Amino acid sequence: MKLENRVAVVTGAGRGIGKAVSLAFAREGADIAVASDNGVENLAVAGEIEQLGRLALPFEVDVSDPAQVASMAEQVIDRFGHVDILVSNAGIIRRGLLIYSEDSDWKRTIEVMVYGTYHCCKAFVPGMVERNDGRVIIMSSVMGKMSNPANSSYAASKHALIGIARTLATEVVMLGAKGVTVNAICPGIADTDMVTGPEGSMAKLSEMLGISPEEVWKQFMKKMSLQERLIEPEEIAAMALYLASDDARGITGQAINVCGGTIMH
């Protein structure tokens, strides 16, 4: 198994990509802190992990709150002793044209994704540096490398996360921890609540534009990828697993696209 007895913290683990990552890691032998702001979903995923014969610690947390992240870190260390892998994946979308946007909505996106990742890295990376062993995997997006109209706070956050990944990759080495790698994954449009759920992008755009979700797919999303399909959460999880494994010890500071050819840079 690729992650025998490793300990991973996955944020946004209650559903979608984070859930797929948690299960892929557990299947390869890791114990998981299942963290998100939805306690019910955390419990359900924790149950699935236990069925795979691994330990799970469900933890309800708002990653934008440093105190909550610090208390999560304390409990995770208490339970598992250390953390080998951090997957900073929690994320939200607040659509709107920049000029008409609500300040609080716009800033909330940055707080959850950028500050959330900052808080989690601050809480979990020092232990990795100390042991000179660890993996940080940050969920950016193709929107971290391209324009995303009516979604500038999201694009700004995802661009920023690539900056964090590159910089932190360099800093851990400056601290002498060449055994710690830091990378971002940039998924293309994926089949999760964020896109296909009742409040997802498809439903929102369909409402905003007064066209059916099928038309939204045809007009706005289908042509965005060469493969003209949604990416499955399991495909993102496979890349996270690869980056978490020993095979990827030489990969650091990268932002890797899993996007069916939406972007190529």
Ligand X SMILES: NC(=O)c1ccc[n+]([C@@H]2O[C@H](COP(=O)([O-])OP(=O)(O)OC[C@H]3O[C@@H](n4cnc5c(N)ncnc54)[C@H](O)[C@@H]3O)[C@@H](O)[C@H]2O)c1
Single residue of 50, 102, 193, 247 touching ligand X by CB under 6 A: 193
Q: Is 16 in the site for another protein (CB under 8 A)?
A: no
**154 catalytic residue (yes or no):** yes
Nearer to another protein, 56 or 243 (CB): 243
C-beta of residue 55 within 8 angstroms of C-beta of residue 43:
no
Q: For 191, phi and psi rounded to 5 degrees?
A: -80, 80
Q: Is 258 helix (H, G, I), strand (E, B) or coil?
A: strand
Q: Please give the residues from 153 up to 172 whose contact with another protein meets the rule CB under 8 A.
A: 166, 169-170
Question: Is residue 145 involved in binding ligand X (CB under 6 A)?
Answer: no
Half-sphere exposure of 179 (CA within 13 A, CB side): 12
Q: According to the binding rule CB under 8 A, does residue 258 interact with another protein? A: yes
Residues 249, 252, 255: CA angle, nearest 5 degrees = 130
Tell me, what DSSP letter sits at residue 96? B
Per annotation, catalytic residue among 100, 118, 154, 242: 154
Region from 96-104, 149-157, 199-207, 237-245 binding another protein, contact rule CB under 8 A:
237-245
| Cβ distance to ligand X smaller for residue 32 or 190 | 190
Partner that binds at residue 251, options another protein, ligand X, none, CB closer than 5 to 8 Å by kind? another protein
The answer to whether residue 121 forms part of the interface with ligand X (CB under 6 A) is no
Binding at 254: pick from ligand X, another protein, none (beta carbon under 5-8 Å per type): another protein
Interface segment toward another protein; rule CB under 8 A; list 26-34, 74-82, 214-222, 255-263: 255-263
Q: In what order do the strands lie in the sheet with 180-187?
A: 56-60, 31-36, 7-11, 85-88, 134-139, 180-187, 255-258
Exposed e or buried b for every residue in 191-215, given b needs 16+ CB within 10 A?
bbebbbeeebbbebbbeeeeeebee
Conformation bin of residue 17: beta by default, left when phi > 0, alpha when psi is -120 to 50? alpha
Q: Which of 22, 117, 141, 262 binds ligand X (CB under 6 A)?
A: 141
Hey, what are 14's tokens?
């209650």
C-beta closer to ligand X: residue 139 or 255: 139
Binding site for ligand X (CB under 6 A): 11-12, 14-18, 36-38, 61-64, 89-92, 112, 139, 141, 187, 189-190, 192-195
